[in-house]
């Protein structure tokens, strides 16, 4: 394990924790952007250059901006009166801790039996492009259709309705 | 390279911790946008798992985990767009994004 991994893991986990714990929604959006950036750097550390740069483009470039837009359009930057956590926060925390305990136990128990590739895989962007238009062309088309439908659907859902009962 | 010190276990533990943080955020926060942020964190943790298994798996040239992660990123982008559009639409009807105040289906 290299020290770079520990730095990037601390950055990602810290960003995620801050996103969940901070009070102001704008601060949460900034913290989750840090977590997305840390994940992109972890992808690069895992020799997955294409996924890393796709992560930067899609998450930091699009999703973070969408979240900031939604916060500003809904006046979410104002602090709520009754606190930021729900009344049943303890139950949620216990469930999340239980999930982490089970996942961590499973990882530590099973990772000895998994074969590990130590050599760096030589996969270029050209290979990924060839696979996308070759073997994976049907999923690519389905994702294109899904993105079109989601874009139109998001616009229709969020469109201002001038008439009709409220 | 076995046990706790192996690289794959490190990445999987980071992903598990990030998933648990996202789940805690989605379950404990009152604001709908924060719940969506938690869901995004969980999706990202799953992507990290896929990429880590692709990197340390026996056949990285087959590109299976990589492709799964790329399609997962695309689907997550679509989910974020629709989810935030829904939040804005609900806010226009009820003037709040706090989930415990949104308690009726008829707008």
Give the pLDDT band (50/70/90) at residue A77: low
Q: Is B33 part of any domain?
A: yes
Question: Residue B13 belongs to what domain range?
Answer: 3-94
Instruction: Based on the fold, state whether residues A37 and A77 are members of the same structural domain.
Output: yes
Burial A32-45 (b: 16+ CB within 10 A, else e): bbbbbbbbbbbbbb
What's the CATH code of the domain at B39? 1.10.287.3510
Q: Is B105 part of any domain?
A: no
Instruction: Return d(Cα A35, Cα A12) in angstroms, integer.
Output: 4
Instruction: Return d(Cα B13, Cα B64) in angstroms, integer.
Output: 21
Mean pLDDT lowest for which of A12-16, A29-33, A85-89, A115-119?
Answer: A115-119
The predicted pLDDT at position A115 comes to: 65
Give the pLDDT band (50/70/90) at residue B107: low
Instruction: Based on the fold, state whether residues A102 and A78 are members of the same structural domain.
Output: no
Instruction: Based on the fold, state whether residues A107 and A46 are members of the same structural domain.
Output: no
The per-residue pLDDT for range B55-78, each reduced to its tens digit, is 888 888 888 888 999 999 999 999
Instruction: Based on the fold, state whether residues A78 and A6 are members of the same structural domain.
Output: yes
Instruction: Based on the fold, state whether residues A130 and A160 are members of the same structural domain.
Output: yes
Taking a C-beta distance cutoff of 8 angstroms, is the pair B79, A154 a contact?
no
CB nearest A103 (choices: B16, B63, B66):
B16
Instruction: Based on the fold, state whether residues A71 and A55 are members of the same structural domain.
Output: yes
The per-residue pLDDT for range A111-139, each reduced to its tens digit, is 777 667 677 777 888 888 888 898 999 99
Q: Is B82 part of any domain?
A: yes
Distance from CA of B23 to the nearest CA of A (A): 6
Domain count, chain A: 3
Average pLDDT score, chain B: 87
Instruction: Based on the fold, state whether residues A105 and A126 are members of the same structural domain.
Output: no
Residue of B nearest to A129 (CA): B67
Instruction: Return d(Cα B70, Cα B43) in angstroms, integer.
Output: 12
Instruction: Based on the fold, state whether residues A13 and A55 are members of the same structural domain.
Output: yes
The predicted pLDDT at position A125 comes to: 84
pTM for the model: 0.89
Q: Residues of chain B with pLDDT > 70: what percent?
A: 93
The predicted pLDDT at position A6 comes to: 92
**A to B CB pairs, distance under 8 Å:** 257
The per-residue pLDDT for range B73-94, each reduced to its tens digit, is 999 999 999 999 998 888 888 8
Q: Is B67 part of any domain?
A: yes
Domain count, chain B: 1
Q: Is B37 part of any domain?
A: yes
Instruction: Based on the fold, state whether residues A29 and A71 are members of the same structural domain.
Output: yes
Question: Residue A161 belongs to what domain range?
Answer: 121-166
Instruction: Based on the fold, state whether residues A1 and A66 are members of the same structural domain.
Output: yes
Instruction: Based on the fold, state whether residues A75 and A89 are members of the same structural domain.
Output: no
Q: Which residues of A touch B79 (CB under 8 A)?
A: 150
Please indicate whether, in this complex, the C-beta atoms of A25 and B81 are within 8 angstroms of each other.
no
DSSP states of B11-29: HHHHHHHHHHHHHHHHHHB
Q: Residues of chain A with pLDDT > 90: what percent?
A: 51
Q: Which of A67, A68, A25, A19 is nearest to A39 (CA)?
A: A19
Taking a C-beta distance cutoff of 8 angstroms, is the pair A40, A52 a contact?
yes
Report CA-CA distances (Å) from B43 to A15, A39, B21.
Answer: 15, 11, 12
- Sequence-ordered list of residues with C-beta below 8 angstroms from that of B38, at least 6 positions apart, any chain: A20, B21, B22, B23, B24, B25, B26, B27, B29
Q: Is B47 part of any domain?
A: yes
The per-residue pLDDT for range B15-24, each reduced to its tens digit, is 999 999 999 9
Instruction: Based on the fold, state whether residues A78 and A1 are members of the same structural domain.
Output: yes
């Amino acid at each position: 394990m290299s020290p770079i991994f520990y730095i990037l893991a601390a950055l990602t986990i810290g960003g995620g924790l801050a996103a969940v714990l901070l009070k102001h929604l704008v601060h949460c959006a900034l913290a989750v952007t840090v977590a997305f950036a840390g994940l992109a750097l972890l992808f690069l550390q895992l020799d997955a250059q294409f996924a890393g740069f796709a992560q930067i483009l899609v998450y930091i470039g699009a999703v973070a901006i969408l979240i900031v837009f939604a916060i500003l359009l809904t006046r979410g930057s104002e602090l709520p009166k009754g606190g930021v956590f729900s009344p049943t926060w303890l139950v949620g925390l216990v469930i999340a801790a239980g999930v982490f305990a089970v996942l961590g136990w499973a990882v530590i128990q099973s990772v000895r039996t998994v074969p590990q590739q130590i050599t760096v895989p030589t996969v270029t962007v050209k290979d990924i492009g060839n696979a996308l238009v070759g073997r994976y062309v049907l999923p690519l088309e389905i994702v294109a259709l899904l993105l079109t439908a989601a874009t139109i659907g998001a616009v229709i859902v969020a469109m201002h309705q001038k008439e009709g009962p409220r | 390279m076995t046990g706790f010190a192996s690289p794959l276990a490190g990445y999987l533990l980071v992903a598990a911790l990030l998933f648990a943080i996202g789940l805690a955020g989605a379950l404990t926060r009152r604001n709908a946008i924060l719940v969506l942020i938690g869901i995004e964190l969980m999706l990202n943790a799953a992507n990290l798992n896929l990429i880590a298994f692709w990197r340390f798996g026996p056949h990285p040239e087959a590109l299976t985990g990589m492709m799964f992660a790329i399609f997962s990123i695309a689907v997550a982008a679509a989910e974020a767009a629709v989810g935030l559009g829904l939040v804005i639409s609900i806010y226009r009807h009820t003037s709040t994004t706090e989930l415990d105040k949104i308690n009726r289906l008829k707008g």
